[in-house]
Chains A and B, each alone.
Chain A
Amino acid sequence: MDVFASVFEDNGLLVAFALIGALMLFSGWLSKTLTRGRLQGSAIAILLGLILAYWGGAVTGGEDGLADFAALSGLSLMGGAMLRDFAIVSTAYGVDLREIKRAGPAGALSILLGVLVSFAAGSVIAAAFGYTDAASMATIGAGAATYIVGPVTGTAVGASSEVIALSVAAGLVKSVVVMVGTPLIAPLIGLNNPKAAMAFGGLMGTTSGVAGGLAATDKRLVPYGAMTATFYTGVGCLLGPSLLYVTLRALVGG
């Protein structure tokens, strides 16, 4: 048994390749037999991945889902930021730059609007749950932008650590619901062309959410969505603790 475990731990990345391959095979089979191909195999695989992440986190009490099992720690290398961004960049190969230029203004506007709308929605909900001071509202609103913007804003405006933790949770929820929800809402919002994908990436901003959501919808849209999403966290960190917080404080006082 020890030999078994140590081989797995020493070859973590290979375990991850084999496991994800098996998971995709199973998801493809589910897609064909249960949904007759209507729900894409990759969408099912992402959903299963999230469910397994929940299970892993619940069993081990860790923060990295399935990767908290030592034998499966290679998943955090395979699915970590380095390889994820590397793969995202590679999807740009063969992209039509004219398409990006044409959608440029809408894409740029989508980032600003996306930060603004998430911030507003998040802070209104924070107020509805009794967090009515400007610092808490701003922090939770920023968390609804992404789980990086939340703590950055919270630290800057001096929010309590409880509120900062909530803002991280809000950001995590967003990235999970974007992964799961994108294929479902895609037909409703016309998410079937590069321009809409650029607007979507800028409006959502969560890189992991957009990366997963578009992969489950149509892989060809990924580079366009990722292109704008990558600016979002930076813009959010810029606006959250400054312009947005000051405006909010002027509105609600304190």
Chain B
Amino acid sequence: MVIYGVAALALCMLVGTLVGELLGVAVGVDANVGGVGFAMIMLVLVTSWLRSKGKFPAASEQGVLFWSAMYIPIVIAMASTQNVVKAVTGGPMAILAGLAALVAGGALVPVLTRIGKPAQPLAPLTAEEKQEA
């Protein structure tokens, strides 16, 4: 049933968020530390374990895949609710500081990817996949 997939996803997210909050309390910061990351790892582990036992059929899978397909629309909704006015009217210093963080961080990506084994680029998207994305 589709709801099993949605429920598994929700459970992973709740547990992950809880772990992130507890970790935040443990290190004494007022923020969630890695909650989403823990939830993602849990989802991968739990679903691959269930699949190996044949207990995560295609219908359950649909419950997860639906939300994955809703990701981009949700991000667009997120973009449309950002406080862009405050970002733009924050003055040149705020704009420069934000830009500098992007440029400096971006420049370090090629440096960091050199650590360890080199990675293979993903296969290019087909035109159809591009439109779907």
Q: Mark A110-152, 1 if CB is under 8 A from B, else 0.
A: 1001100110111011100100000000001101110011001
Residues of A contacting B101 with CB < 8 Å? 117-118, 121-122, 144-145, 170, 174, 204
How many angstroms from the CA of A202 to the CA of B125 in the assembled complex?
24
Report if B86 contacts A (CB, 8 A): yes
Interface size of A by Cβ–Cβ distance < 8 Å?
125
Residues of B contacting A159 with CB < 8 Å? none
How many angstroms from the CA of A76 to the CA of B40 in the assembled complex?
23
- A125 & B100 in contact (Cβ 8 Å cutoff): yes
Q: Mark B66-95, 1 if CB is under 8 A from A, else 0.
A: 011011111111111111111111111111
How many angstroms from the CA of A218 to the CA of B90 in the assembled complex?
30
Residues of A contacting B43 with CB < 8 Å? 89-90, 92-93
Q: Mark A46-85, 1 if CB is under 8 A from B, else 0.
A: 1101111110111000011111000000011011100111
- A234 & B34 in contact (Cβ 8 Å cutoff): yes
Q: List which A150-194 residues lie within 8 A (CB) of chain B.
A: 152, 166, 168-179, 181, 185, 188-194
How many angstroms from the CA of A24 to the CA of B130 in the assembled complex?
13
Residues of A contacting B83 with CB < 8 Å? 53, 57, 63-65, 172
How many angstroms from the CA of A20 to the CA of B58 in the assembled complex?
28
- A140 & B39 in contact (Cβ 8 Å cutoff): no
Closest chain A CB from B28 CB (angstroms): 8
By size class, the interface of chain B is 35 or more
Residues of B contacting A16 with CB < 8 Å? 77
Q: Which of A40, A56, A222, A231 contacts B37 (CB 8 A)?
A: A231
How many angstroms from the CA of A87 to the CA of B76 in the assembled complex?
12
With contact pairs A92-B43, A215-B72, A234-B34 given, residues A53 and B102 touching in the complex (Cβ less than 8 Å): no
Residues of A contacting B109 with CB < 8 Å? 189-191, 196, 199-200, 203
- B84 & A65 in contact (Cβ 8 Å cutoff): yes
- B87 & A46 in contact (Cβ 8 Å cutoff): no
Which A-chain residue is minimally distant from B67 (CB atoms)?
A90
Q: Which of B78, B84, B110 contacts A190 (CB 8 A)?
A: B110
Give 8 nearest A-B pairs by CB, closest first: A169-B90, A173-B98, A234-B33, A79-B77, A49-B79, A79-B78, A57-B85, A92-B40
Further 10 A-B residue pairs, CB within 8 A, beyond A64-B83, A215-B71: A49-B79, A65-B83, A78-B73, A105-B116, A106-B112, A173-B88, A179-B79, A189-B106, A193-B122, A234-B23
Binding site for B on A (CB under 8 A): 16-17, 20-21, 23-24, 28, 31-32, 37, 40-42, 45-47, 49-54, 56-58, 63-67, 75-76, 78-80, 83-93, 95, 97, 100, 102-103, 105-106, 109-110, 113-114, 117-118, 120-122, 124-126, 129, 140-141, 143-145, 148-149, 152, 166, 168-179, 181, 185, 188-196, 199-200, 202-204, 207-208, 211-212, 215, 218-223, 226-228, 230-231, 233-238
Would you mind naming 23 contact pairs between A and B with Cβ atoms under 8 Å apart? A28-B131, A45-B72, A52-B80, A53-B83, A79-B80, A85-B35, A87-B74, A92-B39, A106-B112, A109-B112, A120-B104, A124-B100, A148-B31, A166-B90, A170-B94, A175-B87, A195-B116, A203-B112, A212-B79, A223-B40, A226-B37, A234-B33, A237-B24
